[in-house]
Amino acid sequence: MKLVIDRSKWLRGEGSDDSYLLRNEDGKLCCLGFYAQACGLETEAITNVATPAQVPKYANIWGDGACWLFDESNVSSTCNDLMMINDEKLPFFDSEKEREEQVAAIFAKHGVQVEFVG
């Protein structure tokens, strides 16, 4: 799977309190929001939702390719790592490029090729 993340719409680096899969107020998506859309989730299912596990009936609608996001009843440690990398404020990273590399590396481990545009 190929995942395209548009930097102009990417919600990142604002801290976890202000992060959502899709933030209603400005239409920005975290990296997992872009992934949710790529997996076919409806806008309504991800709007103002903080984690993939909070998506209604998440186990049935993310699809088999996204099973790595979850453990028995919540998000997996890998998913938590991805959320932390996405949400941390600078200077946690030396640059946005470093954030992008880490996000892409986690997705790549699960067969998802990430391309950043914009």
How much of the chain exceeds pLDDT 70, in percent?
Answer: 95
Secondary element (H or E) of residue 34: helix 31-38
Chain centre distance of CA 12: 10
Q: Which residues of 75-114 are buried (b: 16+ CB within 10 A; e: fewer)?
A: bbebbeebbebbbbeeeebeeeeebbebbbebbeeeebeb
- At 57 the pLDDT is 61
The predicted model scores a pTM of: 0.92
- At 20 the pLDDT is 97
| Full residue range of the structural domain in which residue 65 is found | 2-117
Nearest to 59 by CA among 71, 47, 49, 48: 71
Q: What is the pLDDT of residues 6-24, one digit of tens each?
A: 999 999 999 999 999 999 9
- At 60 the pLDDT is 61
- At 62 the pLDDT is 73
Residues of the chain with pLDDT under 50: none
Count of domains for the chain:
1
- At 100 the pLDDT is 97
